[in-house]
């Protein structure tokens, strides 16, 4: 049995964590958080951390004791410098809360890259965890819609760099921009994306801790995450009734199956493909052919098969990337955003037009 820690930082991290707990506790009862046992086979501890108390209150499936409020007025307002100070001031408290839960085999920290709290807390938390413990720590990072504004874009660029430098054992990317076709309005797109990330992580945890016909385990996952440039993404597909397993694998690896835009046959470096379903539906020949096709393009592919009677084939692929052209485009937009913010600041500092307007009434008083 694996001991797993999942931390959700900031609003986005909290919401994805809540989606994970909803899946794990079963969707039916809103009171599930008070009564029910997790469906996890592993010992999974979940912790939500936020400076904004309302984001924590919004959570419906995460127990109150697992929601940690770090008081700072109403959040950190997308300012990563403020966020870093707040983390530093509250580090002892945060680390105590985590360490009270025992030791772990693996940890996932979920955050958006572009807000204030999650994007500043996550690199610092990962660094603390890595300095104190031996277990691998993976960051699950949500990238912003590109039209969300200059502050979010610059935060995303610096946050990703900080996480890489924090000692994280890998970064799993999910991209709001790429996944936004999920729903009509932003809120339903968020929910759709959060559910996608939650289901994939739970599928992964479930298969790392299960008795398989052909096994993959935490060691294999670590090896996959170790490959490439420290960046990864996850593909997933559930076959419908008549679909052969071969097509389900192809769809999980195609852009529409991934959380982050990539041509995995060109950009991936290592992979782990886990196939779950009824034995009758899992043709070993088809699985071998597809896995060989992938491994001849990317290098090493670990393969796991989980037999579940009565289930349609489901395919999960974890892929580490050695290059990521989409990330390069994000950084070039972010560079423009950073320049724009810097120019604006310089203009405000030098021109001070508003001050000049005020100075016209210096020494005067109103007459009534
Ligand atoms: P923080 O609370 O200060 O860490 O900031 P947020 O987590 O709200 O970060 C803002 C970024 O997260 C923006 O790019 C939003 O689009 C994104 N975001 C906020 N909430 C969600 C959510 O529930 N799901 C997804 N996928 N993205 C979100």
Residue bearing the CA closest to ligand 1, atom 22: 12
Give the position, in ligand 1's atom list, of the atom nearest the Cα of 143: 14
Residue 122 is labelled as binding a ligand = no
**Confidence (pLDDT) at 183:** 66
Task: Give the predicted TM-score (pTM) of the model.
Answer: 0.93
Question: pLDDT per position in the chain (368 positions), as tens?
Answer: 899 999 999 999 999 999 999 998 765 544 444 445 666 678 899 999 999 999 999 999 999 999 999 998 777 889 999 999 999 999 999 999 999 999 999 999 999 999 999 999 999 999 999 999 999 999 999 999 999 999 999 999 999 999 999 999 999 999 999 998 766 788 889 999 999 999 999 999 988 887 665 678 899 999 999 998 999 999 999 999 889 999 999 999 999 999 999 999 999 999 999 999 999 999 999 999 999 999 999 999 999 999 999 999 999 999 999 999 999 999 999 999 999 999 988 887 776 677 888 888 999 999 99
Is the CB–ligand 1 distance for residue 120 below 6 Å? Answer: no
The set of long-range contacts for 18-21, using a CB threshold of 8 Å and a minimum separation of 24, is: 18/48, 18/58, 18/59, 18/60, 18/61, 18/62, 18/194, 19/61, 19/191, 19/194, 19/195, 19/197, 19/198, 20/46, 20/198, 20/201, 20/202, 21/46, 21/61, 21/62
Q: What pLDDT score does 37 carry?
A: 60
Using an 8 Å Cβ cutoff, are 133 and 169 in contact? no
Could you give the ipTM of this predicted complex?
0.99
Alpha helices in the chain (DSSP H): 10-25, 32-35, 53-57, 80-99, 117-132, 150-165, 176-179, 186-208, 218-226, 245-253, 264-267, 284-298, 325-351, 353-359
List 140's β-bridge partners, or say none. 110, 172
176 labelled as ligand-binding? yes
Give bridge partners of residue 46 from the DSSP assignment: 6
Strands 43-50 and 67-69: parallel
The pLDDT value recorded for residue 29 is 46
Distance 320 CA to ligand 1 centre (A): 24
- Cβ 114 under 6 angstroms from ligand 1: yes
Q: Is the CB of 80 under 6 A from ligand 1?
A: no
Q: How many whole angstroms separate alpha carbon 35 and alpha carbon 98?
A: 22
Residue position matching structure tokens 């899992």: 282
Q: Is 181 known to sit in a ligand binding site?
A: no
12 lines ligand 1 (CB under 6 A): yes
Cα–Cα dist 200/234, whole Å: 7
Out of 110, 142, 199, 201, give the residue to mutate to test ligand 1, the one with the largest number of ligand atoms within 8 Å of its CB: 142
Q: Is the beta carbon of 51 within 6 A of some atom in ligand 1? A: no
Pairing outcome for strands 314-321 and 268-277: antiparallel
Residue 290 to residue 210: CA distance in whole angstroms: 23
Partnered with residue 38 across adjacent β-strands are none
Return the ligand 1 atom nearest residue 179 CA: 26
Q: Closest Cα to atom 26, ligand 1: which residue?
A: 190
* CA dist., res. 34 & res. 31, Å (int): 6
Q: What does the alpha-carbon distance between residue 278 and residue 248 come to, in Å, rounded to a whole number?
A: 14
Closest CA to 128 of 90, 160, 74, 176: 90
Q: Do the Cβ atoms of 115 and 12 come closer than 8 Å? A: yes
Task: Report the atom number in ligand 1 closest to the C-alpha of 121.
Answer: 4
116 assigned ligand-binding residue = yes
CA 199 to chain centre: 12
What atom of ligand 1 comes closest to residue 9's alpha carbon? Answer: 4
Q: At how many degrees (to 10) do helices 117-132 and 10-25 cross?
A: 70
20: left (phi over 0), alpha (psi -120 to 50) or beta: alpha
Give the Å distance between the CA of 111 and the centre of ligand 1.
8
Domains of the chain: 3-209 (3.40.50.1440), 233-321 (3.30.1330.20)
Cβ-in-10-Å burial (0-12, 13-18, 19+) of 65 comes to exposed
Q: Which residue has the tokens 């912003």?
A: 144
Q: Which of 212, 203, 199 is nearest to 282 (CA)?
A: 212
Tokens of 23: 């899946």
Q: Is 117 annotated as a binding residue?
A: yes
């Amino acid at each position: 049995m694996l001991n797993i820690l999942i931390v959700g930082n900031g609003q986005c991290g909290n919401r994805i964590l809540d989606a994970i707990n909803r899946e794990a506790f079963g969707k039916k009862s809103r009171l599930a958080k008070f009564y029910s046992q997790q469906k996890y086979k592993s010992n999974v501890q979940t912790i939500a951390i936020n400076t904004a108390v309302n984001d924590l209150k919004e959570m419906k499936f995460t127990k109150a004791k697992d929601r940690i409020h770090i008081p700072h007025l109403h959040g950190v307002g997308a300012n990563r410098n403020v966020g870093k100070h707040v983390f530093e001031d509250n580090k002892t408290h945060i680390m105590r809360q985590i360490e009270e839960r025992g030791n772990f085999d693996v940890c996932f920290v979920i955050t958006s890259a572009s807000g204030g709290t999650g994007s500043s807390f996550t690199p610092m938390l990962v660094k603390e965890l890595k300095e104190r413990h031996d277990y691998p720590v993976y960051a699950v990072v949500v990238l912003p819609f590109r039209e969300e504004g200059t502050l979010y874009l610059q935060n995303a660029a610096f946050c990703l760099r900080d996480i890489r430098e924090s000692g994280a054992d890998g970064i799993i990317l999910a991209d709001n921009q790429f996944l936004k076709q999920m729903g009509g309005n932003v809120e339903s797109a968020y929910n759709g994306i959060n559910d996608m990330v939650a289901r994939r992580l739970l599928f992964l945890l479930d298969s790392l801790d299960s008795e398989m016909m052909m096994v993959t385990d935490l060691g294999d996952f670590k090896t996959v995450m170790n490959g490439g440039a420290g960046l990864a993404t996850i593909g997933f597909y559930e076959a419908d009734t008549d679909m052969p397993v071969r097509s389900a694998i192809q769809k999980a690896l195609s852009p529409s199956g991934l959380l982050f835009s990539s041509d995995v046959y060109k950009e991936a470096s290592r992979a782990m493909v886990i196939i779950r379903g009824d034995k009758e539906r899992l043709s070993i020949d088809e699985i071998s052919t597809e896995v060989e096709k992938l491994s001849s393009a990317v290098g090493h592919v670990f393969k796991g098969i989980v037999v579940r009677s009565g289930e349609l084939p489901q395919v999960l692929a974890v892929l580490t990337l050695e290059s990521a052209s989409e990330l390069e485009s994000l950084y070039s937009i972010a560079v423009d955003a950073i320049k724009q913010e810097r120019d604006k600041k310089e203009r405000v500092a030098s021109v001070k037009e508003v001050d000049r307007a005020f100075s016209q009434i210096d020494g005067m008083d109103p007459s009534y």
